[in-house]
Structure 1
């Protein structure tokens, strides 16, 4: 029984001393700065840094201690965020593919229209004009494909 009393007394003395040190540090912040400059104190003070969507497992366990199912909620949030990013990427790619298909169909329609017009002019005897139309059409199509192939993508900016 005596060791329990001794233990309680030591705890009370330690608490009183801690409060006294704390109040002294609050009143005189220069003492805290001097303490933090010491290598022994620097070794005791540590910080944690992590990178990525999820905290390390130890921190997840600590979240569970604070908030019921805290780790599960964090994991679910991360999974929802990842699914959202995947949907946005898919929509972006689908939009680009749709735009490219639409451009190809428009080029096809314009080319066919010009070929029909050139054929009509050739049939009427205007061979030079028909040849000029077809040549300009082919040059235009080739330049569009070449420029499109070497166009810088938006992702590289």
Structure 2
């Protein structure tokens, strides 16, 4: 069986009822009794339901649009192409922004580590070895935690997600 949830899937259903319909259902009023029987036998119901999912209309729909408004199919195609280009440009812009943000965060983290090393050196040179050891241990734990987990804790053990595919946010 084909996957009905595919985005470009045509769903075409035809339902035909070939039974006589009673006149009261169809609201047909015939004044002559001999014609009434003919109407009861010839009235049938035919129903066709059609739906389509996808980025573009079916070709026959495009032809019908062109018959109603000449050039409509070309306008629809050009709009689709322009929208696709825009969507790709926005995706690319978002990726470039994420890369820039990550690079900036890495430079800031590197700078903070260097400042930490300078602080440790100065504390050691001025005879504060215990404090320098505490700062060095805290710096080491912070850097390892940042590189190994890369998540921001929100609450009681829950990670904040970026909303795309369930990945956690990187620092």
Tell me the TM-score normalized by structure 2. 0.62
| Structure 1 residue corresponding to 2:114, chosen from 96, 102, 112 | 112
Taking CA–CA contacts closer than 8 Å with sequence separation of 6 or more, which of the two structures ends up with the larger relative contact order?
2
Looking at structure 2, the residues matched to 100 and 156 of structure 1 have their Cα atoms a distance apart, in angstroms, of 18
- CA shift, 1:108, in A, is 0.6
Looking at structure 2, the residues matched to 65 and 72 of structure 1 have their Cα atoms a distance apart, in angstroms, of 12
Residue of structure 2 equivalent to 1:31: 26
Q: Superposed, which structure 2 residues align to 1:91-106 within 5 Å?
A: 91-106=93-108
Indicate the structure with greater helix content.
1
Indicate the structure with greater strand content.
2
Looking at structure 2, the residues matched to 118 and 94 of structure 1 have their Cα atoms a distance apart, in angstroms, of 36
Tell me, what secondary structure is at the counterpart of 1:154?
coil
Matched, 1:147 2:156: no
| Structure 2 residue corresponding to 1:49, chosen from 48, 51, 74 | 51
Q: Superposed, which structure 2 residues align to 1:118-157 within 5 Å?
A: 118-148=120-150, 152-156=161-165
Instruction: Structure 2 unaligned segments of length 5 or more: list them.
Output: 1-22, 28-43, 153-158, 167-171
- CA shift, 1:117, in A, is 1.1
After the TM superposition, list the runs of 4 or more consecutive aligned residues in structure 1 that deviate by more than 4 angstroms.
Answer: none
Larger radius of gyration: 1
Q: Deviations over 1:77-102 (max 9, x none)?
A: 11111112112212221221121111
Looking at structure 2, the residues matched to 89 and 149 of structure 1 have their Cα atoms a distance apart, in angstroms, of 23
Note closer, same or farther for the CA distance 1:29–1:80 as it changes in structure 2 (3 Å cut).
farther
Q: Deviations over 1:96-148 (max 9, x none)?
A: 11211111111111110010111111122222221211110111111122332
- CA shift, 1:75, in A, is 0.5
Structural RMSD (CA): 2.3
- CA shift, 1:149, in A, is 5.8
Tell me, what secondary structure is at the counterpart of 1:49?
strand
